Amino acid sequence: MSGNELKYINDAFESNWIAPLGPNVEQFEREIASLVGVKDAVAVSSGTAAIHLALRLLNVHPGDIVFCSTLTFVATANPILYQGAKPVFIDSEPDTWNMSPQALERALKEAESVGVLPKAVIVVHLYGQSAKMDEIMDICNKYDVPIIEDAAESLGSSYRGKASGTIGDFGIYSFNGNKIITTSGGGMLVSNNQQAMEKARFLAAQARDTAPFYKHSEIGFNYRMSNLLAGIGRAQLEVLDDRVRLRRLIFNQYKEYLSGLPGVAFMEELENTHSNRWLTALLIDEKGGGVSKQALLDFLSDLNIEARHVWKPLHTQPLFKNAPYYSHGENEHVGEALFEKGICLPSGSGMTMGQLFKVINSILSFCSKRKNYSGVII
């Protein structure tokens, strides 16, 4: 917590605005819209809810096709299933670990050839790093397919001077407890399409028609954010820049002390982008360094240090076993290779330098017992 949350929470109590909607919600929406440079924002109960609303706004119906990044958390794709639509997964490319423009173009070309273009493309900005949006936008514009940016992990990141989540037709952010700022649970839908955003507000509040009684003409959702949680979000937003600075500092420390290890490579930052470094992610090539990724994860776990695999590609998940998938290249499955080698290290903004260097020294100690390594523990 930033330390200022109670001010906004107390304001909500004193004004008796406890339920969904209220002054904090309205202000939080305005502050997010102003921060990222869009015309409107709608605060909702989760990032998943925001993706679901975006699909509804793009008229995704049962049987429709939606293209989606494969290297991501399942919450990116679940709303496709909510709408009864069919996901098609697009592989990553090695520079950003995000959606491969060449796989996307191949998939769209094939979809056009059979007369079934997707209703939308959901692009994820993984671990705070923006995808190659210029290439992806050019391809999608060529086929007139709208883009939803899943920027759940990348609030505070930018691509060529534009805030992550503001380049496509709709963007979404998450304020889950593990994100760079949190409302404990919540999300935001952003767009420059104000008419669509008013529709989003309508759908998120149970789609209640204008009438002197409860009248409903279409399916709505209970997706609006609580005024209390929005107050927490407003306080968190005040320290977003500090959080980004701290996450980047943590990443840079890891990279400085660990990048010299044989077989270790860090997730790079694409030119003309600025990553919030939500999580520090790296690759461990066992053949190149003699270090087993799983053995390292187990070693850290025994020391009560939680590190994790990177996301398991969705096209390899049992839930999506029958979903089509387009690889980056012929016999080149980048997402699968990243999952095979990738780990995420502890990266919380609240980490002390002592905690950070405990992780670094633990990794150095582990690697020093393996072949091809000689170094000094700090």
Q: How far apart are CA 117 and CA 136, in angstroms?
A: 15
- The CATH superfamily label for domain 240-368 reads Aspartate Aminotransferase, domain 1 (3.90.1150.10)
Predicted confidence at residue 1, as pLDDT, reads 82
Residue given tokens 């769209």 in the structure block = 108
Q: Which band of pLDDT confidence, cut at 50, 70 and 90, is reported for residue 375? A: very low
The pTM score is 0.94
What is the arithmetic mean of pLDDT over 289-314?
94
Domain parsing of the chain, residue ranges: 5-237, 240-368
pLDDT for 369 beyond 80? no
pLDDT for 272 beyond 60? yes
Q: What is the pLDDT of residues 184-197, one digit of tens each?
A: 999 999 999 999 99
The SS3 assignment for 139 reads: helix
Q: How far apart are CA 11 and CA 219, in angstroms?
A: 33
Q: Which band of pLDDT confidence, cut at 50, 70 and 90, is reported for residue 374? A: very low
| DSSP secondary structure of 243-285 | HHHHHHHHHHHHHHHHTTSTTEEEPP--TTEE---SSEEEEE-
CB burial of 104-116 (b: ≥16 within 10 Å; e: otherwise) equals bbbbbeebeeeee
Instruction: For the chain, give the percent of residues with pLDDT over 70.
Output: 98
Which of 32-36, 171-175, 200-204, 284-288 is the least confident region? 284-288
Mean pLDDT of the chain: 94
Active site residues: 179
Predicted confidence at residue 79, as pLDDT, reads 98
Predicted confidence at residue 371, as pLDDT, reads 52
Q: How far apart are CA 280 and CA 19, in angstroms?
A: 37
Q: Do domains 5-237 and 240-368 have the same CATH topology?
A: no
What is the arithmetic mean of pLDDT over 1-25?
86
What is the arithmetic mean of pLDDT over 92-103?
98
What is the arithmetic mean of pLDDT over 220-243?
95
Other residues' Cβ atoms within 10 Å of the Cβ of residue 229: 24
Strands 187-191 and 162-163: unpaired
Task: Between 172 and 7, name the one with better pLDDT.
Answer: 172
Predicted confidence at residue 370, as pLDDT, reads 63
Q: Which band of pLDDT confidence, cut at 50, 70 and 90, is reported for residue 259? A: very high
Predicted confidence at residue 157, as pLDDT, reads 98
The fold of 5-237 is Aspartate Aminotransferase; domain 2 (3.40.640)
Q: What is the pLDDT of residues 125-158, one digit of tens each?
A: 999 999 999 999 999 999 999 999 999 999 999 9
pLDDT for 372 beyond 60? no
